[in-house]
Amino acid sequence: MSKKVTKPTQCLLCNGKHSHKSDHCKLMFADQNGNDHKKIEQITNLMNGKNKPNFDAMTIQTLRLIAVNFVYDNSLYDISMRTSARIHPNIDKGRQYNPIPLTLSKNRLKKELIKKWEFRQKLLEKKEKVPEIIPEHTCPICYEEMGQYTWCDNEYIFRTNGEILTRENIETHPGDNCCSAHISSIDMLFKEGHNPIKTTCGHIMCSSCWSKIAKNTNFRTESDYVCSFKRCAPSRLNQTETEITNRLHEFYSGSCPMCRTETYASKRLGVDKDSNWEQDISRGYFMRPRTYTRDWDILKRWNGWMDSPSIDSHIVRTYGPTEGFRILFDPTSDKS
C-alpha cells in the first residue's frame, strides 16, 4: 500500500514553502528596528495616493498582499496578520471589517481592491478637513485652546489636553520607618496644562489658569475625591460629603474671575461626565492627584487624608494611584 504524499504548503503572498498565515513570511513582519518590509511601505503609499493604482500591472501575490493589509471599509487603520485582524467585535463593526478572500481570481481581486481604494479616498478627503476649535473649547482667561481634534478611524474627535507634571527635590533624612527612609524627591507635581475644569458656579477655564486662582497650585476637584472614595472606601463617600466640601473650600477655593463667586473646581472636563461637555473615553486612565487612602501610615498620621498642601510636601508622587502602591512620606515631618 503506497503512502499518501502530502503536498507542501505554499505561501499565497510570496510563493515560499510555508503558509501565509504563519510567522515565516518575511513580508508580514517588521525587522529588528521595527521597520516594515519595503513592499508593505510601497502598497501603503499606493493605497493612500490620489491616483488609482495600476492593479493590472501587479502580480497576484502583490494583489493578495494588499488585500491582507487593507481589511476595513470604514477606517484608515491598516491592519494585517502581522498583528491581529480581530481586535474587538465592536471596533470591527464600526470599522466595517470586510477582508477580501485571498482565493479569488486575479480579476476579482482587482475589482475588490478598486472598491477598497475608493472607500479609502473618501476617508482621506474627509481627514483633510480638520474642524475648527469652537469658542467654548478656548479658555476665556488666557485664550489657549483646551483641546484639539484628533482623527480616529473614520472621524475627528475632540480630545481635551492633559496636565504637565514636574519633579521637585527636597531634603529628607532616614527615620524609624524603614520604608520611609532616604526619600530624596517629591515626584509629579502640577506645573501647567490646558485641560478644562468646571467650577461649582458653572464657569469653565483651563487648569493652568485655575491653578493660579486657587489657593494652592496642586489643586483638587470634587470629582477627584469622589473617584478616590469610590475606589478605596465607597462606604464612606456619603458620610464625608460635607467634609470634602469643607476641605475644598479650605485648601483649593478661589474667586471666579467671571462672576467673583467664591468657588472651587468640581470637574475635570473630558475626564468626568458632564451634560454640556463630551467625555473623552481615551482619557479613562487619567492620573488624578491623591485625596484619600487606606494606607496604614497615612491613616495613622492624617486619618487617611492626602489632600492638604502640607501633606503634598511630604508625599512621594502627589499625582498617582492611592491603592496598590506603598505610599511613602518624609519621616521627619510633623502631622498636618
- Is residue 165's pLDDT more than 90? no
Contacts of 214 (CB under 8 A, 6+ apart): 252, 253, 254, 264, 265
Instruction: Choose between 184 and 52: higher pLDDT.
Output: 52
- Choose the weakest-confidence range: 11-15, 137-141, 175-179, 234-238: 175-179
**Where residue 24 falls among pLDDT bands split at 50, 70, 90?**
low
| pTM higher than 0.75 | no
CA distance 197 to 205: 6
| Residue-level pLDDT at 253 | 95
Could you tell me what percent of the chain has a pLDDT over 70? Answer: 77
- Is residue 336's pLDDT more than 50? no
DSSP bridge partners of 150: 157
Q: Is the dihedral of CA 22, 25, 26, 30 positive or negative?
A: negative
CA distance 305 to 307: 6
**Where residue 231 falls among pLDDT bands split at 50, 70, 90?**
confident
- Choose the weakest-confidence range: 13-22, 35-44, 189-198: 13-22
Q: Where are the alpha helices (DSSP H) in 214-306?
A: 222-232, 241-252, 296-302
**8-state DSSP, 165:** E
